[in-house]
Chain A
Amino acid sequence: MGMLIKFGRSLTAFYKKAEVQFNIVFKLMAGLFVFGRLSVLAMGSDSTSKTLVITLCCAVLTTLVSPSIFMLLGALIACLYLSMASIETALVVFIFFFLIFVFYVRIFPKESLVIPAMLTAYFFKIPYIVPVFAALYIGPRAIVPVSAAVFIWSNTYLLKGMAEIAPKADFTPIGIMDSAINIYGYLQTAINGNGWVFVAIVFCVAIIAGWAMTNVFISYERELAIAVSGAIIIVGLLIVAVVTDAQVSIIGSILGTIISSAIVYVIQSMDFILDYGTAQRVKFQDDNYYYYVKVVPKINE
């Protein structure tokens, strides 16, 4: 534990030397990654240079805007890419994102960042890291974004089918209702066929159980919370894999949960890095002097 804290301190010191520059680089990398992944949705576009230009412009914009504007931009770009293949599909996705924005993102702007975080974790095959992390740091407010992310990830494959049902070449304003009915019929059978609901329930139970554990006044409550969340995810997903028709890999779930719990354990050991009040540099002056002060809080090991 002492080594982890020492490592965390050196990392913080290194980061604080050029905090502004590091933040810009991290935001640019996040923008490139997210908008690069979104360019996969450009099914109807033959021009990779167009998607590359859009990706680069949006990545640069990411360094300048707030997190909620970044999410809005991501949603708009996703709809733009989809509209290259199918106008109706883009409209459906736009309505979905609009409802999420109006009913959740507006009220909980910071918690809604869990949605892109969870989708990124799904891409790296460790989606379990987000519910375990949320149990420690966010609590029950993460239930809605985690469930939304599970729904989005589990049903992204439907977009291709929807685009094939209503391709852009066949689009007419008069025929939009017929296309919508066909898309509805396709979605009705496809969405009912998978078990994303049960997976979302398991993650929500893990978040609540872990959060409840952090509110109990015992020793090592955070470590126990990680263990409890991880155990619930493993057991829950095993039950879901056996009882329902959800496509859940048992070995993948167990390994992924163990790895995710280990990562969250390392993060919570060094979590003073996340605390804005740690290792800051401030400048001020009075009538006689300029003060350049480095503030490093003490850690109780």
Chain B
Amino acid sequence: MEDLKKIRIMTNLAIYDKNYGEEDRKITSHYKRDYVYKKNLGIRIGVLLGSAVIIMLYYCYKLFVIETDMFTVFNKAEAIKMGIAVVVLLVVYTIIGTIINGERYSLAEERCLGYQRMLCKLNGKKNIHNTNEDNTNERT
């Protein structure tokens, strides 16, 4: 029977694998910058689509409900105003996305590091940079 310390380590490794392993590996397979950029790109595309819908509804309201003249609605000043609003929205959501996805990546990275440290302890290595040998502990 293996010693209890080894069983405890293997149990903790298995718990991590079951609950976070797959998701964390997907996240940390990218660099942090790439992961945040990829997630923010999706957010920006969504925000752009949403903004386009809101702007379309706004102009429909101006043209058909208030019955404003078309040349008053579609002019340079209005276009600049809408452009600024969209840019501000994009900036705000980029900041929110950067904070949230950055946090998500950092937590995943921290957990992965903890996992590597436990693996080192299990394999009797002093630090995580010497983990080139095969791990004898297979998890089902």
Measured CB to CB, the residues of A under 8 A from B are 95, 98-99, 101-103, 106-108, 177, 180-181, 184, 276-277, 280, 282-291, 293, 295
Contact = CB atoms under 8 A, between A and B. Distances in A.
A102 B18 contact: no
A275 to B, nearest CB: 10
B46 A106 contact: yes
A146 B12 CA distance: 37
Given A177-B60, A291-B7, A98 B47 contact: no
Contacts of A277: 15, 19
B138 interface: yes
Nearest to B96: A107
Contacts of A285: 138-140
B136 to A, nearest CB: 6
B75 interface: no
B128 interface: no
A295 B50 contact: no
Interface in B1-39: 1-2, 7, 10-11, 13-15, 18-19
B47 A103 contact: yes
B43 interface: yes
Interface in B81-140: 93, 96-97, 100, 136-140
A291 B138 CA distance: 11
A184 B61 contact: yes
Nearest to A178: B64
Nearest to B100: A107
A89 to B, nearest CB: 15
Contacts of A177: 60, 64
Contacts of B70: none
Given A102-B50, A184-B61, A289-B2, A282 B138 contact: no
A286 B15 contact: no
B7 A282 contact: no
Contact of A102 (B15, B47, B64, B96): B47
Contact of A280 (B7, B15, B64, B140): B15
A289 B2 CA distance: 9
B11 A282 contact: yes
B80 interface: no
A120 to B, nearest CB: 26
A293 B49 CA distance: 49
10 contacts: A102-B47, A106-B42, A184-B61, A282-B11, A285-B139, A287-B136, A289-B2, A291-B10, A293-B7, A295-B15
B50 A284 contact: no
A99 B53 contact: yes
A181 B64 contact: yes
A286 B65 CA distance: 73
A293 B2 CA distance: 14
A295 B11 contact: yes
A103 B60 contact: no
The 5 residue pairs across chains A and B that have the minimum distance between CB atoms: A102-B50, A282-B14, A102-B46, A284-B139, A284-B14
Nearest to B139: A284
Contact of A184 (B10, B42, B65, B140): B65
A287 B135 CA distance: 11
A98 B14 contact: no
Given A102-B49, A103-B47, A287-B136, 17 more contacts: A98-B53, A99-B50, A99-B54, A101-B46, A106-B42, A177-B64, A277-B15, A280-B15, A282-B11, A282-B15, A283-B14, A284-B137, A284-B138, A284-B139, A286-B2, A288-B2, A290-B140
